[in-house]
Structure 1
């Protein structure tokens, strides 16, 4: 599979603060191989969305108003 078909447009997350370097507006969200990833363009810190089963277990008792999923 080519990289072009698995990589989509990267978008900045307005107001997001990097947990590593603490800089604001440096976090990019993108989809790679159907996995959401977030990377800080300032320091390179990156995070990956956990598997649905892990996410469901850790958020079981939270009250979520809504989830924003950009298309």
Structure 2
């Protein structure tokens, strides 16, 4: 089964500072964020996701195209 990779609208890469270059997907319950412009890759386990800064922010919604 092919994994759907979604771009994160308005996000800037922390390494190269390019806008709209980050994409996200999940592999084996690990969230992967990758920049298509440089070599930046970040992986978060479910526990790390819950403890991140975003865990304390109010979430409005998640865009999931079908």
TM-score in terms of structure 2 length: 0.71
Unaligned runs of 5+ in 2: none
1:42 aligns with 2:37: yes
Displacement after TM superposition at 1:68 (Å)? 4.6
**Which of the two has higher C-alpha Rg?**
1
How does 1:30-69 map onto structure 2 within 5 Å? Answer: 30-52=25-47, 55-56=50-51, 63-66=56-59, 68-69=61-62
- CA distance 1:53–1:15, shift in 2 (3 Å): closer
Structure 2 CA distance for aligned equivalents of residues 68 and 47 of structure 1: 22
Runs (4+) off by over 6 Å: none
What is the TM-score with the length of structure 1 in the denominator? 0.67
Structural RMSD (CA): 2.6
